[in-house]
Structure 1
Amino acid sequence: MNKITVFLLEHGRGDLIEGILDTTATVRDLHEALAKAGIEFDKDTHIFLGDAEEPLSGNLGDVLRELKDGVRIHVSRCRRVATTVNYLEHSDEHRFSPGTRVRRVKEWAVRKFKIDPKDAAEHVLQLCNSTKRPSSDTTLQELTDNQTCAVCFDLVPEKRVEG
Structure 2
Amino acid sequence: MGEIGLDYYWLKTPEERANSRDFFDAQLSLAEELNLPAIVHDRDAHRDCLDIVRAHPGVRGVFHCYSGSLEDARVLVDRGWMLSFTGNITFKNARRAPDILRWLPLERLMLETDAPYMAPEPYRGQRCDSTMIARSAETVAQLRGLTRDEVEAVTLENGKKFFGIA
Larger Rg: 1
With a CA cutoff of 8 Å and minimum separation of 6, indicate the structure with the bigger relative contact order. 1
Q: Could you say which structure has the higher strand fraction?
A: 1
TM-score, normalising length: structure 2: 0.28
Q: Could you say which structure has the higher helix fraction?
A: 2
TM-score, normalising length: structure 1: 0.28
